[in-house]
A = this chain, B = another copy of it.
Amino acid sequence: MLAKSTEYAIRALVFIELLNQEGNRPGVKQIAREIASPEAYTGKIMQILTKQGLVRSMKGRGGGFFFDHATRPLSLQKIIRVMEGESYFNKCGLGFNGCDSHAPCPIHSEYITAKKELFDLFEKQTIESLAQNVKDGLAVLNRPM
C-alpha cells in the first residue's frame, strides 16, 4: 500500500517529533536505530524530506532534524505526496491512463469511494497526532521484544 521508503519516512518523522518534544534533535544514526531502518538509506530519505521542506535539519555537531512552525502541521498525505508522487492519489485502479467518469474502467467509481476513506485518514492523521498516540501508550514505534 505504501512503499518501504514511505514507511521509513513516516516512522522517522514521528520519532523526530517525539524527540523534539523532549527538547532533542535526533540525527540519522539515532533515527535509524530507533525505527529499525537501514542507516544510510534513511539518510537519503531524510534528504528528500528536508529538501521538500517537510522537516528541517542542521548540520554539524549537535545537529539533527526538527520541526518548526513552517513545517507544522504535517499530515501523512503531505508525506505520501512527496514520497510516492501525486499519482498515488489519482491513479486508476486497473492501471488505465485515460480512466475517468467518461470512459471508466470496470471498477472506477467503487474504487474511488473505497480509496476516499483511506485518503481521509491520511489527511486527518498528522505526525503530531501519531506521536501523541505513542506518548499516550496507545501505540509503539518499534517492536517490543
Question: Residues of A with Cβ closer than 8 Å to B?
Answer: 1-2, 4, 7-8, 10-11, 14, 76, 91, 93-98, 103-108, 110-111, 113-115, 117-118, 120-121, 125, 130-131, 133-134, 138-144
CA distance A85 to B106 in the complex (A): 23
B114-A118 in contact (CB<8A): yes
Nearest CB of B to A126, in Å: 10
Residues of B with C-beta under 8 A to A106: 14, 125, 130-131, 133-134, 138-139, 141
Question: Is A95 within 8 A of B141, CB to CB?
Answer: no
**Shortest distance between the CB of A128 and any CB in chain B (Å):** 11
Residue in chain B with minimal CB distance to A115:
B118
Query: Contacts of A111 on B, CB cut-off 8 Å?
Result: 121
Known contacts A11-B95, A91-B1, A114-B117; is-contact A108 B143 (Cβ 8 Å):
no
